[in-house]
Amino acid sequence: MDARDLKEKIFLAGAALLSLLAVLPVFHVLLSVIWNGLGVLMEAGPSFLTGVPPPPNGGLGGIAPSLAGTLLLAVLSSLLGIPLSLFAAIFAVEFPDNPLAKGVRVLSKALLEIPSVVVGMLIYAVVVVPMGRFSMLAGSLALAIMMIPYVTTYVEQALEGVPFTYREAGFALGLSRPRVVFDILVGIARRGILTGILIGFAKVLGETAPLLFTLGRDRYNVPLGPLDYGDSISLLIFDYAQTPYANMHRVAWGAALVLTALFLIIFLVSRRLTEEVFL
């Protein structure tokens, strides 16, 4: 074996090892969450999903308001963000040479580069301060901004993937432009569009930073309206991980398992829908 072969062997072993090293942590993260979280969930029982958080050093309680908050926020932000992203993407795809549409295409991706905590500060300045209160609405607005780049990317790709002949067929039938888009193109591209919606949903489910200064962190009451204070599982984990109390750290682990489970469900569904997932 000469030096070149040896170099190749070392290189291949090194590349395999480094690749393994790159993905090893995520397994450890998942196992830690399951290991620590499952113990908490078993001990607390179903009331972990229906109760309110415990006092310091006082048992495990539950995370119902935060869980409800996370789900409601995901729904509310989707109601705001998905139609917006969908129509903005259609605009960008349908009028590709128009400067406004080009701008939308670039800017909707550039949203990805705004740090999530800055989105939170923006909503704090333009919604929370003028309204004089934190609210689910403010949190949802911040999350809606977060989901735009993901959803528009997927919708644009899906719509552009529809062969031009379908469009021509629609026009040949005498359909108007909007009818062609909504009745034909959206229908054909529905898988890609749905994937985009799911990815956006999964993304906002786990977000923390945009909610820090918008939601109010009321973790003892389930939010009933968009103007109520709210909480999310992610915020609860962030706060409880920083407390000095052992029982609250355990609640954080239990909450982490709930959040990870929610994320994994959506992740797996979206994997079934498409081969390539970009998050």
Question: Is-contact 237 206, C-beta < 8 A?
Answer: no
Q: Answer yes or no whether residue 104 interacts with other proteins by CB under 8 A.
A: yes
Three-point CA angle 74, 202, 278, nearest 5°: 145
Question: Is-contact 201 150, C-beta < 8 A?
Answer: no
- Residue 230 has φ and ψ, to the nearest 5°, of -150, -175
Candidates 103, 169, 220, 261; binder of other proteins (CB under 8 A) is 103
Q: Answer yes or no whether residue 118 interacts with other proteins by CB under 8 A.
A: yes
Q: Answer yes or no whether residue 256 interacts with other proteins by CB under 8 A.
A: yes
User: Which residue type does 116 have?
Assistant: S
Pick the closer one to other proteins by CB: 36 or 221: 36
Q: Is 171 exposed, middle or buried (0-12, 13-18, 19+ CB in 10 A)?
A: middle
Pick the closer one to other proteins by CB: 224 or 242: 242
**DSSP summary character for residue 165:** H
Rounded to a whole number of angstroms, the minimum distance from the CB of residue 115 to other proteins is 3
Pick the closer one to other proteins by CB: 56 or 103: 103
- Sole window of 39-47, 50-58, 84-92, 219-227 interacting with other proteins (rule: CB under 8 A): 84-92
CA 205 distance to own-chain centroid: 5
Question: Is-contact 59 250, C-beta < 8 A?
Answer: no
Pick the closer one to other proteins by CB: 21 or 172: 21
Pick the closer one to other proteins by CB: 46 or 130: 130
Pick the closer one to other proteins by CB: 163 or 224: 163
Residue at token pair 């969908």? 86
Q: Is 236 exposed, middle or buried (0-12, 13-18, 19+ CB in 10 A)?
A: buried
Using CB under 8 A as the binding rule, the residues of this chain from 18 to 47 that contact other proteins are: 18-19, 21-23, 25-26, 28-29, 32-33, 36
Candidates 34, 71, 91, 226; binder of other proteins (CB under 8 A) is 91
Rounded to a whole number of angstroms, the minimum distance from the CB of residue 207 to other proteins is 7
Using CB under 8 A as the binding rule, the residues of this chain from 139 to 168 that contact other proteins are: 145, 148, 159-160, 162-164, 167
Using CB under 8 A as the binding rule, the residues of this chain from 195 to 234 that contact other proteins are: 199, 202-203, 205-209, 212-213, 234
Question: Is-contact 255 54, C-beta < 8 A?
Answer: no
Angle between helix 246-273 and 190-206 (nearest 10) = 170
Rounded to a whole number of angstroms, the minimum distance from the CB of residue 260 to other proteins is 6
Question: Is-contact 229 134, C-beta < 8 A?
Answer: yes
Pick the closer one to other proteins by CB: 95 or 220: 95
